[in-house]
Amino acid sequence: IPDISVLYENSEFILVDKKPGMAVHSGNAGGTGAGCSAADESGTLINHIKAYLWRRGEYRPDEERSFAPALCNRIDRNTGGIVIAAKTAEALRRINEEIRRGEVTKKYLCAVHGKMEKSSGRLTGWMEKDSEHNIVRVYSGQRKTSHGKTMITDYRVLAEQNGLSLLEVTLLTGRTHQIRVHFSSIGHPLCGDPMYGANPVLSEALGLDRQWLHAMKLEFRHPRTRVWTTVRSQYPADLAAALDA
């Protein structure tokens, strides 16, 4: 039975509210990334989307030339929020092109340790992924190797309390663990994220067993009509409870 919450849908693509704890696709058995092991593939977000569209007669895998619905963006297993899936090959091409050109605005909410030095700002740097340990390292200044990729992250402080800061974050690049590693690199790890330096005692006190991070809003032009579309997702109860702890 499909287990998805649909936020927006038309004949070309669908935006869903991914639950934290659900992998978006198979692969990456490490557990903290976007994927899962092949054995758990049936419970992935993309398979739930396929089941949903199959029940509606929009996905026909038995037909030779049937297009398999495909994800246009990905978020970590333990992060909830908005994910786009294309229903057609043309929609996939157009949305991916918009993402490549920076025409899709991706906004997140996160809670970090400490008080930010500025009420808003831009973080820049280079990232390198250690695939063996599924961890990302970020560097400032000159790129360390030819494998380094640019990271650009904008933020705005929404609230501060009890030694924590609630931020609205806009991704200008979409790298693995970008928000988590970028704020950790400046001494403000995300609450509940021990992989990147969060205080485990505080995480327990806040009732968190995952990073405080939510993909809350996507803004984009409809790839065919060019009408601006905004889709929002409310952060779930465990994150809300941590703010009130």
Identify whether the C-beta of residue 76 lies closer than 8 Å to the C-beta of residue 210: no
The answer to whether residue 26 scores a pLDDT higher than 70 is yes
> Position 20: which residue type?
P
Closest CA to 89 of 107, 122, 67: 67
Radius of gyration of the chain measured on its C-alpha atoms: 18
Please say if the pLDDT value at position 38 is more than 60.
Answer: no
Name the percent of the chain lying above pLDDT 90.
71
Tell me which residues are annotated as active site. Answer: 76
pLDDT digits (tens, 9 = 90+) for 189-245: 999 999 999 999 999 999 999 999 999 999 998 878 888 999 999 999 999 999 887
The span from the CA of 68 to the CA of 65, in Å, is: 9
Q: What are 153-165's pLDDT values in tens digits?
A: 999 999 998 899 9
Other C-beta atoms within 10 Å of 44: how many? Answer: 21
Q: Is the separation of the CB atoms in 124 and 148 below 8 Å? A: no
Mean pLDDT calculated for residue range 24-49: 67
Contact yes or no for 54/66 (Cβ under 8 A): no
With cut-offs at 50, 70 and 90, classify the pLDDT of residue 129: confident
- The pLDDT of residue 133 is 75
pLDDT of residue 34: 56
Which DSSP category does 189 fall into? P
Residues 55-81: pLDDT tens digits? 999 999 998 788 999 999 999 999 999
**CA 18/CA 24 separation, integer angstroms:** 8
Q: Model's pTM, two decimal places? A: 0.89
Better pLDDT: 133 or 61: 61
Q: What's the pLDDT at 138?
A: 83
